Amino acid sequence: MLTYIKLAWRNIWRNKRRTLITASAIVFAVLAAVFMQSMNRGSHEMILDNMVRFSTGYVQLQDYRYDDESSLDNSFFFDGSVKDRVMEADPNIDMVLPRIETFMLAANDAATRGSILLGIDPEKEHRFNELRNRLTEGRFFEKDESSVMLAKGLAERLQLSVGDTLVLMGRGRFGMTASGLYEIVGLVEFPLRDLNNQVVLIPLPEAQFLLSADDYITSLLIAPGHERHTESIARTLNETFADDELVAYTWAELLPELLELFEFDLAVPKLLTVVLYIVIGFGFFGTILTMTMERLREFGVLLSVGMKRGKLALVVFLETLFISLIGVLSGVVISWLIIFYFHRNPVELTGDAAQAVIDMGWDPVLPMSFAADQFYTQGFFVFAVAMIVFLFPLVKIVTLNILEAARS
């Protein structure tokens, strides 16, 4: 067997030009397949990352009634002991973020808009989603302040800016009247349009006081040490708090519509990927057909001097295996380097394209996914296509007429 391997390796480098052309076609195929998938998955990952960091969290602990009726009446008590129970439940939990959320009317002296009041712990929020970096004007409030920050879109609708006074009116816990006047100390631009047009941020203690909900929150966001621990953390928390009327949901359970949208959006790219594989396959076939026809005389001579067809087919198979592996591995390495660069330095959109993306509530960049599976899966599929196409010379050897081949 070692002799056949050496013979195959020497054969592929006997005609370096032919080998390099074939391997280059495979490299291009891997690069094209990975690049296409990375672009498509990158936009999905950016949307999902923004939704998780600014809205649902990876895991969310809430009262079991809250999912059906998002009311302050279905909030739950949260103090240091509850926090300790959560942190001790699973060693993969990195941090917890308490939030209280409700609908309120936000107004100035001339206009009123519906808004989402979000009570947060400013330090923990920044650690989780780098919220301070979203500040466009003014400053970030402290945990013990009685002030608010407005989403930029809501501030524009109400024609308010830093230093102005915001009126909040609504209903607190168990029907209590909730209203107050707050100084606007900063404006924040969220990467999600719905949040950017509605959110009023307020320190958690002040929000609890305003809503007559001392020590109560509507949700506790759980940040895992790594995303892959999300499911296991949710299961552990559901077991831990089974008798406390609390339920842990993963982001996938809280955002089923988004996942369905992603599945629908992936339909066209999947079809394009299949078309790409077909085009790649025909490209390989043209190259292999030419290579095989050039070597018919060589095959005929080898068979005429006594080489068995099976052994010749084995040598040719090893040749194609080596060329495929060289092409696929080179393609994976090159695509890894290119995708890594664009992942770290995403292409920034300009002009009308940038404005269209901004209007949809996203950052004007072209994100690239750096998920590891896209490299080896696309490499495997291209390798499989190449090996299927390379069956042609094997069939040709089995059916070859020795006399006609020797005279060609």
- What sign does the dihedral 300-301-307-313 (CA atoms) show? negative
- The first and second tokens of residue 340, run together, are 């890594």
Of 31-45, 108-122, 222-236, the least confident: 31-45
**pLDDT tier, 29 (very low <50, low <70, confident <90, very high otherwise):** confident
Cβ distance 64 to 245 under 8 Å?
yes
Please state, for a pLDDT cut of 70, what percent of the chain lies above it. 95
**pLDDT tier, 148 (very low <50, low <70, confident <90, very high otherwise):** very high
- The reported pLDDT for the residue numbered 117 is 95
CA distance 376 to 329: 9
- The reported pLDDT for the residue numbered 275 is 82
Cα distances from 301 to residues 153, 157, 405, in angstroms, run 78, 83, 8
Mean pLDDT of the chain: 84
- The reported pLDDT for the residue numbered 404 is 64
Unique residue bearing structure tokens 């930029």: 152
CA distance 403 to 301: 9
- The reported pLDDT for the residue numbered 363 is 67
pLDDT tens track for 160-212:
999 999 999 999 888 888 999 999 999 998 887 888 889 999 999 999 999 99
- The reported pLDDT for the residue numbered 322 is 85
Average pLDDT over residues 272-290: 77
- The reported pLDDT for the residue numbered 48 is 80
Average pLDDT over residues 325-341: 89
CA distance 114 to 104: 6
- The reported pLDDT for the residue numbered 170 is 92
Rg for the chain, CA atoms, rounded: 31
> Of 135-139, 263-267, 367-371, where does the model show the most confidence?
135-139
pLDDT tens track for 294-324:
777 777 777 777 778 778 778 778 888 888 8
- The reported pLDDT for the residue numbered 355 is 64
Is the pLDDT at 126 greater than 60? The verdict is: yes
- The reported pLDDT for the residue numbered 122 is 92
Q: Are strands 112-120 and 199-203 parallel, antiparallel or unpaired?
A: parallel
Distance separating the N- and C-terminal Cα atoms of the chain: 30
Is the pLDDT at 290 greater than 80? The verdict is: no
pTM over 0.75: no
pLDDT tens track for 348-390:
777 666 666 666 556 667 778 888 888 888 888 888 887 787 7
- The reported pLDDT for the residue numbered 60 is 93
- The reported pLDDT for the residue numbered 357 is 60
Average pLDDT over residues 139-151: 93
User: Which residues have CB under 8 Å from 144's CB, separation 6+?
Assistant: 203, 205
Cβ distance 257 to 194 under 8 Å?
no
CA distance 236 to 246: 12
- The reported pLDDT for the residue numbered 55 is 84
CA distance 363 to 217: 30
Checking 274-277 for CB contacts under 8 A at 24+ apart, the result is 276/29, 276/32, 276/33, 276/36, 277/33, 277/381, 277/382, 277/385
- The reported pLDDT for the residue numbered 236 is 93
CA distance 338 to 390: 28
Please state, for a pLDDT cut of 90, what percent of the chain lies above it. 35
Comparing 13 with 84, which gets the higher pLDDT?
A: 84
Average pLDDT over residues 333-356: 79
